[in-house]
Amino acid sequence: MSINSTSHRIVGLDLLRTNAILLVVLGHGRWMLDGCPKPIRTLFNGAFGYMGVELFFVLSGFLIGSILLKVFIKTDDFGFAEVKNFWSRRWFRTLPNYYLVLILNILFTVYIFRITLPDHLWTYFFFIQNFSAHVNSGFFYDSWSLSVEEFAYLCAPLSLVILSALLKYFSKKLIFLIATGLLIFLVISVRAIYFVFFHTSEVDWNDSIRQVMIFRLDSIFIGFVGAYFNYFKANLWKRLRYWAFAIGIGCLSFSFLFYLHNQHADTFFFYVIYPLIYSLGALLILPLLCFVDIKNAILLKVVTFISTISYSMYLIHNSLISNSIKAFVGNNELGAFTGLFCYLIYWTLTIGLSYLLYKYFEKPATDLRDMNYKPEVTLITIKPDSVPQRDMGDKGE
């Protein structure tokens, strides 16, 4: 499939993924504009990066949750063979790129950045660098979010296997709903227990909650809720899409503004409830996006292009490109002209190198996966309520 192919893609979800990665890249390059006038600094606010990551979490949960749901529903005896195939396809999609960029980060850190590698370097190879606490050493900073996704996709299919054994006489529809609800409840409960019994005001929210894997898994599983409604309640999913979108935008706007003014808040709401509101906002905009179409051919190609290379962009834009620019210009505040020039170079390198990484490494690895692992059940289905569902696939996830 060419990089601009829109066959079997939901354009609205590509649009969301494109906006999410652009927000992340925009936010992480914000430091280059510190010497620019205030309107520019405000327009390119670093908080946008936070919003982009949250959108990614729910979108990823929706897409991969839809795949898992359909495998679960269509398999008579869902067990470890299906789980193994699910894991293999996910890992073939994500791990080759991740480990390549991890090795590049090690080499850049030693030979270009000239700083000491973190003592916990080994944890990055097993996605446990932020299992219970995020150690912000500056090394491969963005990888914390990948560990959230990887562990979510470890837990979800296993929970379905266990609940299927315990709830033999329950329908698969109900088992999937129970598993999703239970996982979300457990993660929120862990956040609450941490705040009530272990939290101290000296601990930063960003490092102690937002970027800690065991506290953020619910963001992925909320995407599973969308997968459930899209599959079993397709008419409702479509009928309420405008109302849901309006409420979702309201939730996202509230969350963004709240974060701007309460980054150092020390309250139960901020630590426990606030991440949930962001995720629910992202979930509620999905129904409308599933039916969005882009008529302009040029815009459609741009959206599809950025969406397709978004994973490569996420991996290299900050840890390799932004940090390389920072190493070159030093720690002094950049002037307006120099900052804007560096920002342009930052975006050019991010898009250009991400395309090369996708074309010559990420896509060949994905093609190799498709040759060696049986595909999951077809994702083109017609529901009993006669609402056709297009193939969402797992491209870009």
pLDDT at 381: 39
pLDDT at 387: 39
Local structure of 386: helix, strand or coil:
coil
The two tokens of residue 279 are 């995720």
pLDDT at 3: 55
Distance CA 169, CA 140 (A): 46
For residue 382, the cross-strand partners are 388
Local structure of 296: helix, strand or coil:
coil
For residue 388, the cross-strand partners are 382
The two tokens of residue 115 are 């700083």
Task: List, for the chain, all residue ranges whose pLDDT scores fall below the cut of 70.
Answer: 1-8, 134-136, 202, 372-397
CA 335 to centroid of chain Cα atoms: 33
pLDDT tens-digit readout, 63-95: 999 999 999 999 988 999 999 999 999 998 999
Q: Please answer whether residues 228 and 66 qualify as being in contact, where contact means their C-beta atoms are separated by less than 8 angstroms.
A: no
Q: Please answer whether residues 69 and 86 qualify as being in contact, where contact means their C-beta atoms are separated by less than 8 angstroms.
A: no
Which ranges of the chain does DSSP label H, i.e. alpha helix?
Answer: 11-28, 38-43, 47-74, 80-111, 143-166, 172-193, 205, 213-232, 234-239, 241-261, 268, 274-284, 286-289, 297-308, 310-316, 323-329, 336-357, 363-372
CB-neighbour burial class of residue 78 (10 A; exposed 0-12, middle 13-18, buried 19+): buried
Distance CA 314, CA 304 (A): 16
Q: Please answer whether residues 390 and 302 qualify as being in contact, where contact means their C-beta atoms are separated by less than 8 angstroms.
A: no
First vs last C-alpha separation in the chain: 16
Local structure of 389: helix, strand or coil:
strand
* Position 48, amino acid: F
pLDDT at 69: 96
Phi then psi dihedrals of residue 387, to 5 deg: -105, 115
The two tokens of residue 257 are 């503004």
pLDDT at 8: 64
CB-neighbour burial class of residue 105 (10 A; exposed 0-12, middle 13-18, buried 19+): buried
The two tokens of residue 221 are 């599983």
CB-neighbour burial class of residue 64 (10 A; exposed 0-12, middle 13-18, buried 19+): buried
pLDDT at 382: 33
pLDDT at 200: 77
Reference 89, options 64, 70, 53, 58; nearest CA is: 64
User: Rounded to two decimals, what is the model's pTM?
Assistant: 0.90
